[in-house]
Amino acid sequence: MKYGQFCPIAKATEILGERWTILIIRELLLGTSRFCDFQRALSQISPTLLTQRLGQLVDFGLVIRKPSPAGKRPEYFLTASGKELGPIISQLAEWGMRWARGQMSEEDLDVELLMFDICRRLDPATLPGGVTVLHFDFGRLDKISRWWIVIEEDRRELCVQPPGRESDACVRTDVRTLVEVYSGDVTVGDARREGKITVTGSPLLAQTVSKWMPVSSVAHVRPAVPH
């Protein structure tokens, strides 16, 4: 994408304006480095396009590609210039919550991003010690309706198959409700009172779900009322 202008905004947009690029930067800022994790957080991007966009960011000097310790696919990390985008992306997220979000359509309810975000934002300090297995059941959802998160100290693992351990708690809900909770539109307590979320299993985890269920880092930003 070329604008043919010397304006620094035009030059920055030539780098960042391609489809998916900003979201890849978002993931890098959140600590995503492995190709498979980019695919999980950005479920609708093709592997070919993801490879292309990561390569462009490497060429522009925003990202560095490093060999994986496991010797498989390389991993990707922000350079100093890429890290400078952190405050800009944070402000963009707040602006989006305030002015651009509106009513979420069905196509916006990406269960893979939702569960990936919940997994990485879960605070082990809010859970009992040892291993905790949380099961999320979205009923008849066409696309991956059952998920598990295994937490042990600072280690978190997101699974779409039973992890081989009994679940400590099961959260049954629909994707829209959990997205609304994660986005700060409704509280998990209100959703439970309305019967939109049920939590079974450990009585302690059921009683403290409002404490351990994470919300978005911008959940405190409320949509603005248009004038």
In order of 39, 40, 59, 78, 215, the CA distances from 71 in angstroms are: 19, 21, 22, 20, 35
Residue 227 has pLDDT above 70, yes or no: no
Q: What percent of the chain has pLDDT over 90?
A: 85
* pLDDT tens by residue, 148-194: 999 998 889 999 999 999 999 999 999 999 999 999 999 999 999 99
| CATH code reported for the domain at 8-84 | 1.10.10.10
> Which residues share a beta bridge with 76?
65
* pLDDT tens by residue, 37-80: 999 999 999 999 999 999 999 999 999 999 987 767 899 999 99
Q: Hey, where are the domains in the chain?
A: 8-84, 106-212
* pLDDT tens by residue, 189-213: 999 999 999 999 999 999 999 999 9
Q: Which 3 state secondary structure label does DSSP give 178? A: helix
Architecture of domain 106-212: 2-Layer Sandwich (3.30)
